[in-house]
Structures are given as C-alpha cells and as structure tokens.
Amino acid sequence: MILNAQMLLRSFTRRAVFIDRDGVICRNRDDYVKSWEEFVFLPGALEALAQLARTDLYIVIVTNQSPINRGIVSAETVEEINSRMVLAIEAAGGRVDRVMYCPHRPDEHCACRKPQAGMLLLAAKDFGLDLSHSYLIGDAETDMQAGRAVGCRRYLVLTGRGWRQLMHSLTCGKLDFVVKWNLKAATNVIVRQESGVEWAHSQFAFG
C-alpha cells in the first residue's frame, strides 16, 4: 500500500475553504452591494462552487460588511442578500455550510473584520477545523492577511480588487500566496489537490 503521509493526514482532518464574497463570488461595487438587485455573480463562480461542493471541504463564506455599521444597509438586508445567494448557489448544484459576516467599521477595531482572523477562528471552533490544512480565496490583501494569521493556504484572485491588490503586494506587501484569475481557476487547483485525499480514501477501502 503506497500512501503519502500528507494525504493521510488530510484525509483525517476537517478542513474548509473560506471564500470572500464581494469581488470573488459577486461583482464588487465601490458603493457596496446594498440589495439583491445589485448582487451579480461573477462568471464561473456558480460553477466553481458546485465543483467545491463535491469535495469534503466545509464551504464557509467570510465577508466584511461595514456598510451595516456605517448605516448604509441594514443587517437584515445583508442577511437577505446572503440567503438569496445561498439559494442560487444551491440551485446551481453548490453548497454553503455557513455565511459569516462582520458588520463593524474599521474604527471599531473588532476581532472579526478581516485582516483579523476572528471569523476563521470561530468557524474553526464550531466545525473543529484544522486551519493549517484549510484554504482561503479572496481578492484583497486583508483576506490574505487573515488567512496568513491562521496558516491557511491562500489564493488571491484577480477579479474584484485583485489586480490593484496584487500591484500593491508587489511593491510593498508580502507575496506568499498563489495568484489565480478567478474563483474557478483557484477552485481547479484546490480540487486537484483534494483528489489526492479521495485517492487516499480508496486506498484504505481496498488496501
């Protein structure tokens, strides 16, 4: 029986893929997504989420929603947008295990607004996740910072604010993440890595 130790470890740990919402799943707006009418899925996003649903990764959407505490949109509206997003994802064959949002403004210095890792840590506690074998996909340096703080594998996508953030990282930030065109491209890499886990399972079943 040929088994790779890393594959074995991964097959016995609970892992997640954390996905940012605005600029990764839906179109980013400088004036915030304030209604379902303003929510537009990015090309390939639904397909990517359906593909991820076929892995055994927990799928957790983590989004900063400061317009709530800026008084621009209510928490109820953000939750309604998120619910409708989840329904659309499910209708396309996808799955979302949890949507987490931070309502705070930067000046409130909360523990959940990315680049803080509060949402990732809470999900890890609730689902019993091994964060060092989990993934994070985002379009901003703040996403990368949150993922870095807890040791997730990080993917920066070039949709949303991605290009601008990459240019910034190239000049004055850290470049310790993988860069992919969009959620679909990042998903392809993750699914390929995860197929090693499936292989390990089958070796067990028949070994």
What's the one-letter identity of residue 205?
Answer: A
Query: Should residue 112 be labelled a site residue for Zn ion when binding is judged by CB under 5 A?
Result: yes
First to last CA, the chain: 6
With CB under 5 A as the contact rule, which of the stretches 36-44, 71-79, 111-119, 188-196 interacts with Zn ion? 111-119
The phi and psi torsions of 35 (rounded to 5 degrees) equal -155, 165
Return the one option of Zn ion, Mg ion, none that residue 110 interacts with (CB less than 5 to 8 A, by type).
Zn ion
CB 151 within 8 A of CB 143: no
- At CA 178, angle to CA 140 and CA 202, rounded to 5? 120
With CB under 5 A as the contact rule, which of the stretches 15-23, 47-55, 164-172, 198-206 interacts with Mg ion? 15-23
Q: Which residues of 3-34 are buried (b: 16+ CB within 10 A; e: fewer)?
A: eeeebeebbeeebbbbbbbbbbbbbbeeebbb
Minimum CB distance to Mg ion smaller for 14 or for 27: 27
Count of residues in the chain: 207
Known catalytic residue: 20? yes
> What is the total count of residues that contact Zn ion (CB under 5 A)?
5
Query: Should residue 22 be labelled a site residue for Mg ion when binding is judged by CB under 5 A?
Result: yes
Report the site for Zn ion in 160-189 (rule: CB under 5 A).
Answer: none
With CB under 5 A as the contact rule, which of the stretches 24-32, 110-118, 147-155, 168-176 interacts with Zn ion? 110-118
**Which residues lie near Zn ion (CB under 5 A)?**
102, 104, 110, 112-113
Residues making contact with Mg ion (CB under 5 A):
20, 22-23, 139
